[in-house]
Amino acid sequence: MPHITAEIISIGDEMITGARLDTNTQWLSQRLGELGVDVQFHTTVADTLSHNTDVFRIAARRADLVIATGGLGPTRDDLTREAIAESLGRPLQLHEPSLKFIESMFQRRGREMPERNQSQAMFPIGAVPIHNPQGTAPGIDVRAPREDGTQSRIFALPGVPAEMKTMFDETVAPAVLGSNGQRRHIAHHVMKFFGVGESDMEQRLGDMIARDRQPRVGITVSAATISLRIVATGETMEACGSASATTRDEILRKAGEFYFGDGETFEQHHAVVQHLNKVGQRLLLVELGRAAPLGDWFAAVSDEPGFTADVPAFVGGISLANVDDLRQWAGMPADASVETCLSALRQRVSADWVLLVDEYPSLHQTNEHPLPGGEVTFTVAAPDESFPSITQHLGAHPSILHARVAKAGLFWLRKCFPTDPSGV
Amino acid sequence: MPHITAEIISIGDEMITGARLDTNTQWLSQRLGELGVDVQFHTTVADTLSHNTDVFRIAARRADLVIATGGLGPTRDDLTREAIAESLGRPLQLHEPSLKFIESMFQRRGREMPERNQSQAMFPIGAVPIHNPQGTAPGIDVRAPREDGTQSRIFALPGVPAEMKTMFDETVAPAVLGSNGQRRHIAHHVMKFFGVGESDMEQRLGDMIARDRQPRVGITVSAATISLRIVATGETMEACGSASATTRDEILRKAGEFYFGDGETFEQHHAVVQHLNKVGQRLLLVELGRAAPLGDWFAAVSDEPGFTADVPAFVGGISLANVDDLRQWAGMPADASVETCLSALRQRVSADWVLLVDEYPSLHQTNEHPLPGGEVTFTVAAPDESFPSITQHLGAHPSILHARVAKAGLFWLRKCFPTDPSGV
């Protein structure tokens, strides 16, 4: 693939004033990077025609590919169509099929199209509309000639993230790949890991994360969970799928012991529920100290398709200040061991497993440790009346410390399961 | 104050590739807006010298004020100093006092300064260093002359958010205000509200949210909590404080029934803990359904200064699937009423109050309601053995629905408290 440079333009007062955080640009930067495009500039501009026009002119001059989001709505604030037309020095003209499509969108909702929505069917001469299956605003695909005889290709997409993402995946990504004449298809596959640091993971993967590798492997970290994103491009979807599967196997050979599942939003608690559903067992969570994220996470899993069961894997969660309170809840004397308490609670609620987090550390920094953190003990009450436990010092940035502790607890619980729940 | 336009520049590969979300620019946009500055452009650029130079040239031409973040570190990737110097056509020169300060930072940590850190004391001729009390990278304050005889003022700050924010508040904001010759001081005050929508709040405030009002009142919404930010500028801090207090009183007259406290991070659960600490009472939380955020929130409050007590207000939290499970936990028969269960649980754990959320709705959309949501019943068990309850239909975007439900529950609990916990 030839070297393609890109600029991403984000349009709207709400971004310029800081009222809304621009996440579209981050998403587009990641996707373009995966396609091998060299993103060089992001520009955000308010809903002002002259500024918009200038921004499109500058972008078309310095980037091969310009992806804009926002400003395609039907109101007077929506100036992207005019701005692109002005920057090209061409008038807008009505595109009849787009108008018919917008009218049909309103008809399906049993409403008449307001006159102002007609503006959404106006395109600069020479532009191709981009189909928007979810909304009334079609996108714009147009080429801007440059002084040196080359041209820049501009794609304008709506600002609504769901519409923008669909249109990028369905239209822009294939077009970018198609500029190479082959490899028009693209397949994404995300693998999840816990228990290994980012630099360790990079070392294990070695050449696999080279930017020019095919399929490409990208690494991102979110609250101590590592995601590896395999992006395969090819002439057919089958070719993408098979290249992706080979890469996946290679990754499992290098870092399989930390792998717990596939999918953008798949986390360890999904892996735990999946395993418990399979073996028909149930889990009680006891969280002590200054947080209780696990109760919230496991409650939410019950709502996700594919994770339900006749007897739900999650019995419930208890959040308490400390072990003394745990003894009181379990109805035990003040000198009772933690194991006795967990055993009593497990029986009372008919759980097979209990995971105790003792305890979520303070978010305050100490002189000893520049990052907040502390000693945390994870104790599991297993169905065979064993109580495997581990004590670790865990520290992290305050914004992710409690999530990190919770995930370390789930990592320990998964190690205590008799079979490897990851299914590797 | 004269009309001042601004551009914000964010520098770094990690932003351009989408590896990191740029939150500095949003923060700066909000702060500049409060100062009455008209932000018109955001630009993000990779760590490439020629692109950085171009970006500074374009920005200085089109904006009166240019605020850049990032690229001030000691490594070869850090190009902001060179880029500004190039864009001005001036060389860099060593600033001895800055070098001494950087050396002293290393000495205090018992380390010798690596030679490459000397680059952080290099400034374009004519620039003024901006003191960085928290790190080794001083900022840059320099004026760029324009063809029409006017000049643009460039401030370059580090990318580390804590350092950037301190330097903006201590140096940039007073300089921006000082460009008017008076009103050099600035005071921020944030008030929090729940139970009222953004447009209702705007209607109540009327002229108070006009952009040219002094002090300025800004409105933002985060997961159904409304923040009003009062920004007062004046010749002395006393004048700012007194203008701010007058505006605060006026707001309370207009929307006092929804007010629950002051401060950027103050939420309703802080107000609840504050009230319970004052009266020496304790709360048990029972959350049913597909989430349990309250347990996590209340556990975290115990870690915050100002919210501790000898007998903590938060007894603990229970997360369960449904009322049947609640009966089992409370040791009650299958036909027991919710009130009986809450009463039994309250006695068992010596709580004064219980809040039951029944239940967190699914995040899936239904045909009836375009936004996910559902009927939620909040039942409070009060110390006088009354059980006030309310049922509401609550719907919201999936990303905030559960938080919104939890907050509606706290709103109901606060209404059940005998004295108004807001202290208005």
Could you tell me if B46 and B16 are in contact, meaning their C-beta atoms sit under 8 angstroms apart? yes
CA distance A272 to chain B (A): 17
Give the pLDDT band of residue B303 (cuts 50, 70, 90). confident
Domain final position from B178, B202, B217:
B178
Number of C-beta neighbours around residue B158 at 10 A: 27
Give the pair of three-digit tokens for residue A302.
């019950």
Residue of A nearest to B221 (CA): A19
pLDDT of residue A387: 97
Residue B337 near residue B326, CB atoms below 8 Å: no
B 212-251 near A (Cβ less than 8 A): 220
Q: What angle do CA A275, A280, A282 make, to 5 degrees?
A: 80
pLDDT, tens digit, 9 for 90 and up, residues B216-275: 898 888 889 999 999 898 888 899 999 999 999 999 999 999 999 999 899 999 999 999
Q: Which two tokens stand for residue A104?
A: 């049909």
Record: contact B40-A54, CB cut-off 8 A: no
Residue of A nearest to B406 (CA): A296
Q: CA B39, CA B28: separation in Å to the nearest integer? A: 9
Helix (H) or strand (E) holding A329: helix A323-330
End-to-end CA distance of chain B: 35
Which of B30, B299, B364 is opposite residue A289, by nearest beta carbon?
A: B299
As given in the structure block, the two tokens for residue B413 are 């609990």
Closest CA to A138 of A166, A113, A115, A109: A166
Terminal alpha carbon distance of chain A: 35
**CA nearest neighbour of B244 among B262, B258, B223:** B262
3-state secondary structure (DSSP) of residue A319: strand
Are A54 and A85 within one domain? yes
Question: B226 pairs with which residues across the strands?
Answer: B193, B221
What is the interface size between A and B, counted as CB pairs within 8 Å? 186
Q: Are B405 and B394 in contact (CB under 8 A)?
A: yes
pLDDT at B181: 57
What was the pLDDT predicted at B105?
83
Q: How many residues in total does chain A contain?
A: 424
Amino acid (1-letter code) at residue B198: E
Partners of B42 in the β-ladder: A44, B8
Interface pTM, i.e. ipTM: 0.80
From chain A, pick out residues whose CB is under 8 angstroms from the CB of B285. 319
Residues of chain B contacting residue A22, judged by C-beta atoms under 8 Å apart: 22, 26
How far does B27 lie from chain A, in Å, by closest CA? 7
Residue B14 token pair: 């990690």
The verdict on residue B135 lying in a domain is yes
Tell me, what amino acid is at A279? Answer: V
pLDDT value for A424? 42
Q: Which segments in chain A show pLDDT lower than 70?
A: 1, 179-183, 366-370, 419-424
Residue B93 in domain:
yes
Q: Which residues of B touch A15 (CB under 8 A)?
A: 42
Any B CB within 8 A of A334 CB: no
- Same domain, yes or no, for B153 and B194? no
CATH number of the domain bearing residue B384: 3.90.950.20
Residue A423 belongs to a domain: no
Which residue pairs from A241-247 have beta carbons closer than 8 angstroms and sit at least 24 positions apart in sequence? A241/A187, A243/A214, A243/A215, A244/A187, A244/A189, A244/A215, A247/A208, A247/A215, A247/A217
Residues A283 and A253 occupy one common structural domain: no
User: Is residue A327 packed enough to be buried (19+ CB in 10 Å), middle (13-18) or exposed (0-12)?
Assistant: buried
pLDDT class of B370 with cuts at 50, 70, 90: low
Task: Give every strand in the sheet of A5-11, ordered side by side.
Answer: A128-130, A139-145, A151-157, A65-69, A5-11, A38-45, B38-45, B5-11, B65-69, B151-157, B139-145, B128-130
**Domain check: are B32 and B151 in the same one?**
yes
**Mean of the pLDDT values across residues B188-200?**
93
Residues B73 and B171 grouped into a single domain: yes
> Is the domain of B292 the same as that of B343?
yes
B364 Cβ under 8 Å from any chain A Cβ: yes
Q: How many domains does chain B have?
A: 3
The encoded tokens of residue B99 equal 């070098």
Same domain, B254 and B276: no
**Residue A421 included in any domain:** no
Q: How high does pLDDT run on average in chain B?
A: 91
Q: In chain B, positions 142-181, which contact chain A (CB-CB < 8 Å)? A: none
> What residue type is assigned to position A412 of the chain?
W
Instruction: Provide CB contacts within 8 A for B356, sequence distance 6+.
Output: B286, B288, B326, B338, B342, B377, B378, B379, B380, B381
Q: How far apart, in whole angstroms, are the C-alpha atoms of residue A279 and residue B99?
A: 65
Q: How far is the C-alpha of B111 from the C-alpha of A118, rounded, in Å?
A: 67
Containing domain of residue A335, as a range?
Answer: 268-416
Which chain B residues are within 8 Å of A26, Cβ to Cβ?
18, 21-22
For residues B44 and B165, membership in a common domain is answered with: yes
Cα–Cα distances (Å) from A108 to A98, A101, A113, A122, A162, in that order, read: 15, 11, 11, 22, 20
Quote the CA–CA distance of B147 and A46 in Å, as a whole number.
25
Residue that is last in its domain, among B262, B291, B316: B262
Find chain B residues with C-beta within 8 A of A28's C-beta.
18
Sequence-ordered list of residues with C-beta below 8 angstroms from that of B358, at least 6 positions apart, any chain: B288, B289, B323, B338, B376, B377, B378, B379
Tell me, what CATH number does B147's domain have? 3.40.980.10
Q: Does B16 touch chain A (CB under 8 A)?
A: yes
User: Of A10, A16, A296, which has the smallest distance from its Cβ to B291's Cβ?
Assistant: A296
Contact A46, B40 (CB under 8 A): yes
**pLDDT score recorded for residue B94:** 95
The span from the CA of A33 to the CA of B14, in Å, is: 12
Please check whether residues B31 and B123 belong to one and the same domain.
yes
Q: Which H or E run includes A358?
A: strand A353-360
Identify whether the C-beta of residue B127 lies closer than 8 Å to the C-beta of residue B142. yes
Is B423 part of a structural domain of the chain? no
Residue B327 in tokens = 């009966």
Where does the pLDDT of residue B137 fall: very low under 50, low under 70, confident under 90, or very high at 90 and above? confident
State the pairing for strand pair A259-262/A185-194. Answer: antiparallel
How far apart CA A392 and CA A408 sit, in angstroms, is 9
One domain for residues A61 and A160: yes
Distance of CA B301 to the CA centre of its chain: 17
Q: What is the CATH number of the domain that holds B242?
A: 3.30.70.2860
**Is residue B14 within 8 Å of residue B20, measured between CB atoms?**
yes
Q: Is A45 a domain residue? A: yes
Using the beta-carbon criterion (under 8 Å), do B349 and A363 form an inter-chain contact? Answer: no
Task: Supply the Cα-derived Rg of chain B in whole angstroms.
Answer: 27
In a 13 Å sphere around the CA of A179, the CA atoms on its Cβ side amount to: 19
Of B44, B298, B302, the CB nearest to A42: B44
pLDDT, average across residues B75-86? 93
Which residue's structure tokens are 């395969």? A232
Question: Residue B29 is nearest to which of A17, A25, A300, comparing CB atoms?
Answer: A17
Distance CA B35, CA B152 (A): 17
Specify which of A217-226, A346-355, B96-105, B378-387 reaches the highest per-range mean pLDDT: B378-387
- What is the radius of gyration, based on Cα positions, of chain A? 27
Please say which residue of A262, A292, A308 terminates a domain: A262
* Contact present, A227 and A192 (Cβ < 8 Å): yes
Share of chain B above pLDDT 70, in %: 96
Q: Does B291 touch chain A (CB under 8 A)?
A: yes
Q: What is the rounded distance in angstroms from the CA atom of residue B165 to the CA atom of residue A134?
A: 40
Q: Are residues A14 and A59 in the same domain?
A: yes
Closest partner residue to A29 among B17, B45, B51, by Cβ?
Answer: B17
Buried b (16+ CB within 10 A) or exposed e, A66-88: bbbbbbbbbeeebbbbbbbbbbb
Nearest in space to B409 (alpha carbons), one of B389, B423, B382, B384: B389
Residue B126 in domain: yes
- Distance in angstroms (rounded) separating the CA atoms of residues B394 and B358: 12
**Do residues A116 and A195 share a domain?**
no
Torsion of CA A375, A376, A382, A384, to 10 degrees: 10
Provide the token pair at B267.
């939420």
A385 in any annotated domain = yes
Report whether A185 contacts A239 (CB < 8 A).
Answer: yes
Distance of alpha carbon B327 from alpha carbon B329, whole angstroms: 5
